[in-house]
Chains A and B, each alone.
Chain A
Amino acid sequence: MAEEMLRFEGVAKRYGPVVALNAVDLTVRKGEFLTLLGPSGSGKTTLLNVIAGTVAPTTGRLWIGGRDVTDLPSSERRLGMVFQNYALFPHMTIFENVAFPLRVRKLPWTEIKRRVAEALVLVRLPDVGARKPRELSGGQQQRIAIARCLVYNPDLILMDEPLGALDKKLRDQMQLEIKRLHSNLGVTVLYVTHDQEEALVMSDRICLMNAGRIEQLGDPHELYFQPKSMFAADFLGDSNILDAVREGDSGLFRAHGGLAVGPFSAPGLPERIKIMIRPENLTTSGMAQAIPNSVIGVVEDIIFIGRVTKIRVRVEDDVVLTTTRLTTAEDLSLAPGTLVRLVWKSASVVPLQ
């Protein structure tokens, strides 16, 4: 296991009676890209501010690069930070902006010039040094902000929703750009976002946060396919969530709507659980023969979202399952009211605690 870059132990933050952060333990490895994902108010921004040193934790300690920085001011934590609104100094040129952290460190002038030039090449904007920030587009300004972080090799780079102010297309492009810089340079990044897709695309690991706690920590694949809680299943992607009751001793459960699911290998599941199936793991099939792991329902509506089509199927009076699949021409012939059979692999059913 790689060297650790950031460690939290029991870090909590209370504002009077309000608990913004509830005893968080977390370790980020050197060179890792870890995303704090969660809705607003989940504590991810508070956690970031505790690391940045702008908010002091009520209890707990944190280490960056092996140093206990709990009581150190922001300026001595060897951090870099990228903000949603770029936070470039409007009164300085791009060169002066990128040179700022180096000048603070009193490096010799020739080295400053060399390193700024290198950083600008890294973000593919080598010729904008003489311009002012307001002369650049939003995407370019954010690249400069990233260059300003890379130029002094901080131990850890914090990114606070850095792509939040950009439009969809630019955001997709910048996601890959940041990913490229991360893998080429081996920097450690702690990224904050509320956009689940962004988290899935970019992260080595995702730390899903809810109500001031860590809900689940794992790689994107794990979070998507093995969510542990209702919250995790619901927050990442679409999901069908059903109540299920234990049936016998074999570990099998019967879900509401008559679906037999399991057996689950997870130990110690209670009598009543919730189960989740991703819409893309449900497929439709002909009515001809009975198949295990299937259920019959009536097509309620068909929603065309371009690349994929979403079909809602009523399998019980109060149970509607959603299935998605790549759009094909024959989907157009599928009409509401048609009887269909929904089929799933037993491994794609996930028990939630």
Chain B
Amino acid sequence: MTQEAGRRSPLSVAVSIAAWFAYGFLVLPSLIIIPMSFSDKDEFVFPPQTLSFYLYEKYFFESNWMAATVESLKVAAGTTTLSVALGVGAAYALTRTEFPGKKLLTVFLLSPIFVPVIVVALGLYLYLGSARLTGTTFALVVGHTVVTIPFVIVTTLAGLRHIDRNLEVAATVMGASKWTVLRRVTLPLLRPTILVASLFSFLISFDEVVISYFIANVQRQTLPVRMYSSIHWEISPVLAAISALLTGLSLVVCLFVAFLQKGRAVG
């Protein structure tokens, strides 16, 4: 406190300035995209000469962009559903039951976090390829779920730790079956946690490139894969519009989650 209010050492000032430079260097490219997205030319222009929604129109009305977006939405929705169903169930089992090998299973379930994504992608490609599933929405959902499930489990474990065990004991003593306790007490109390886990799963899946690039094919591409291919072949400035939209989406989700956390802290 006194450190903040009083004089600061030259070293701490220097560190602060360096940090702000690094931060600016990292964030600036994302921000430059936004003014560029309002250009009316078929090439990247900075700064834009006139402001227009030309690039946004192209994105919304060119069928191949929309097809990729719809595919991404489908995959993200599927991934969210699957990873929340499996992840919340796994976290519940890990905290509320005792069985041999529990620690080992926990490490195994969280392992996709530690394995490089490219390795996971390659593994999935070989596995799903031999099952002749590559290029399907199902394969993309499965691939993304591998990555999102650890996040769901970690979030839910934290959420479950916040729930007073006596509430579940109380419900059980009052005659409720395990299933009723889960449905009427645990899950409702876990709702904010599940919402946060869902939003992050959705976002992770919607942004995912590496695994999708391995599993998708030309006919069925997700939006990030389509964008990546477009950089290679046409360098369309529509990318700027899409990037601006994606940044906006991430921002909205993160603000919403922050709002939820705050609400929970107060409640």
Q: Is A270 an interface residue (CB 8 A)?
A: no
Cα-based distance from A148 to B167 in the complex (angstroms): 13
Interface centre among B172, B175, B177, B185 (most CB of A within 10 A): B175
Complex contact A152–B169 (CB within 8 A)? no
Q: Is B132 an interface residue (CB 8 A)?
A: no
B154 to chain A, nearest CB (A): 23
Q: Which of B121-179 contact A (CB under 8 A)?
A: 164, 166-167, 169-177
Using CB atoms, name the residue of chain A closest to B188.
A91
Complex contact A104–B176 (CB within 8 A)? yes
Select A75's contact among B177, B185, B191, beta carbons within 8 Å: B177
Q: Which of A73-119 contact B (CB under 8 A)?
A: 73-81, 83, 85, 87, 89-91, 100-101, 104-105
B92 to chain A, nearest CB (A): 17
Cα-based distance from A242 to B73 in the complex (angstroms): 83
Size of chain A's interface in residues, with CB distance under 8 A? 26
Q: Is B230 an interface residue (CB 8 A)?
A: no
Cα-based distance from A100 to B168 in the complex (angstroms): 12
Size of chain B's interface in residues, with CB distance under 8 A? 19
B84 to chain A, nearest CB (A): 19
Complex contact A75–B189 (CB within 8 A)? no
- The 8 A CB mask of B178-191 against A (1 = contact, 0 = none) is 00100011001101
Contact flag A83-B166 (CB < 8 Å), given A91-B188, A100-B184: yes
Complex contact A89–B173 (CB within 8 A)? no
Complex contact B175–A89 (CB within 8 A)? no
Using CB atoms, name the residue of chain B closest to A77.
B173
Q: Is A54 an interface residue (CB 8 A)?
A: yes
Complex contact B173–A52 (CB within 8 A)? yes
Complex contact A80–B188 (CB within 8 A)? no
Cα-based distance from A217 to B175 in the complex (angstroms): 31
Complex contact A148–B175 (CB within 8 A)? no
Using CB atoms, name the residue of chain A closest to B187.
A91
Complex contact A80–B185 (CB within 8 A)? no
Contact flag A100-B171 (CB < 8 Å), given A75-B177, A90-B189: yes
Complex contact A148–B169 (CB within 8 A)? no
Cα-based distance from A78 to B173 in the complex (angstroms): 8
Using CB atoms, name the residue of chain A closest to B171.
A100
Q: Which chain B residues border A52 with CB–CB below 8 Å? A: 169, 173
Q: Which of B184-231 contact A (CB under 8 A)?
A: 184-185, 188-189, 191
Cα-based distance from A76 to B164 in the complex (angstroms): 22
Complex contact A101–B174 (CB within 8 A)? yes
Complex contact A104–B164 (CB within 8 A)? no
Q: Which chain A residues border B267 with CB–CB below 8 Å? A: 90, 134
Q: Which chain A residues border B188 with CB–CB below 8 Å? A: 91
Q: Which chain A residues border B189 with CB–CB below 8 Å? A: 89-91
Cα-based distance from A73 to B189 in the complex (angstroms): 23
Using CB atoms, name the residue of chain B closest to A83.
B166
Cα-based distance from A91 to B170 in the complex (angstroms): 14
Q: Which chain B residues border A89 with CB–CB below 8 Å? A: 167, 171, 185, 189
Using CB atoms, name the residue of chain B closest to A78.
B175
Q: Which chain B residues border A101 with CB–CB below 8 Å? A: 174-175
Select A87's contact among B167, B176, B180, beta carbons within 8 Å: B167
Q: Please list the residues of chain A having a beta carbon within 8 angstroms of any beta carbon in chain B.
A: 52-54, 73-81, 83, 85, 87, 89-91, 100-101, 104-105, 134, 148, 152, 158
29 pairs, A vs B, C-beta closer than 8 Å:
A52-B169, A52-B173, A53-B172, A53-B173, A54-B169, A73-B172, A74-B169, A75-B172, A75-B174, A78-B175, A80-B174, A81-B169, A81-B170, A81-B173, A83-B166, A85-B166, A87-B166, A87-B167, A87-B169, A89-B185, A89-B189, A90-B267, A91-B189, A100-B174, A100-B176, A104-B176, A104-B180, A152-B175, A158-B173
Q: Please list the residues of chain B having a beta carbon within 8 angstroms of any beta carbon in chain A.
A: 164, 166-167, 169-177, 180, 184-185, 188-189, 191, 267
Top-6 shortest CB links A-B: A101-B174, A87-B166, A87-B170, A81-B173, A74-B172, A104-B175
- 11 additional A-B pairs beyond A75-B173, A100-B176, beta carbons within 8 Å, are A74-B169, A75-B177, A77-B173, A83-B170, A85-B166, A87-B164, A89-B185, A89-B189, A91-B188, A91-B189, A104-B174
